[in-house]
Amino acid sequence: MSKPSAAARMGTEPLNPLLLSLAIPMMISMLVQALYNVVDSIFVSYVNEAALSAVSLAFPIQNLLIAFAVGTAVGVNAHLSKSLGEGNREEAERAAMNGLFLAVCSALGFLLFGLFGAEAFITSQTSDPLIARYGAEYLTICTVFSIGCCLQCMMEKVLVASGHSTYAMITQMVGALTNIVLDPVMVSTSGSRLIREEAVETMREMLFPLAEIITPNVPETEALTGARIRNTEDMERAAKALQAACGCAVLCKGGHRVNDANDLLCMDGELHWFLGKRVDNPNTHGTGCTLSSAIASNLALGHSLEDSVRRAKEYLTGALEAGLDLGKGSGPVNHMYRFFEKDTE
Residues labelled catalytic:
253, 284, 286-289
Question: With 0-12 CB in 10 A as exposed, 13-18 as middle and 19+ as buried, what is 126?
Answer: middle
302: left (phi over 0), alpha (psi -120 to 50) or beta: left
How many Cβ atoms are within 10 Å of 208's Cβ, its own excluded? Answer: 19
Q: How far is CA 215 from CA 102, 151, 225, 289, in A?
A: 35, 27, 14, 9
Q: What is the separation of C-alpha 234 from the centre of its chain, rounded to a whole number of angstroms?
A: 31
**From CA 175, how far away is CA 53, in angstroms rounded?**
28
**Do the beta carbons of residue 122 and residue 132 sit within 8 Å?**
yes
**From CA 305, how far away is CA 290, in angstroms rounded?**
16
Q: How far is CA 181 from CA 270, 296, 310, 321, in A?
A: 19, 6, 15, 25
Q: Which of 287, 243, 284 is nearest to 265 (CA)?
A: 243
**From CA 25, how far away is CA 28, in angstroms rounded?**
5
Q: Which residues, including other chains, have CB under 8 Å from residue 176's CB and lie 6 or more apart?
A: 32, 35, 36
